[in-house]
Amino acid sequence: MTKSPRYGRDRGLPVENYLPHAILANDISGIVEKIGPDFQRFSVGDSIVGQSNILSGSPDQAGLQEFCILDAKLLLPY
């Protein structure tokens, strides 16, 4: 196997097409403030941790902000 001189850092950001609005922080923790209709996995007031979907095309699903909208499949109770 030949060692490649290229590194992941040389390829640039994988979210280049989503810049400049992409917020690159994706670790989320907090308290559920509101849930969608017919959702039963968490309740308002539950503590959660999870990952945001920075490739969603929307800055609403990113960290480093007071409130964010998250996919429930990316969350765990804390």
pLDDT digits (tens, 9 = 90+) for 25-53: 778 899 999 998 888 899 999 999 988 87
Cis? peptide before 14, omega within 30° of 0: no
Asked if 51 contacts 28 with a C-beta cutoff of 8 angstroms, the reply is yes
User: What pLDDT is recorded for position 63?
Assistant: 78
Domain ranges of the chain: 8-77
Mean pLDDT over each residue of the chain, to the nearest integer: 77
- CB-based contacts of 74: which residues, under 8 Å, 6+ apart? 50, 51, 52, 53
pTM of the model: 0.63
pLDDT at 64 over 90: no
User: What pLDDT is recorded for position 1?
Assistant: 53
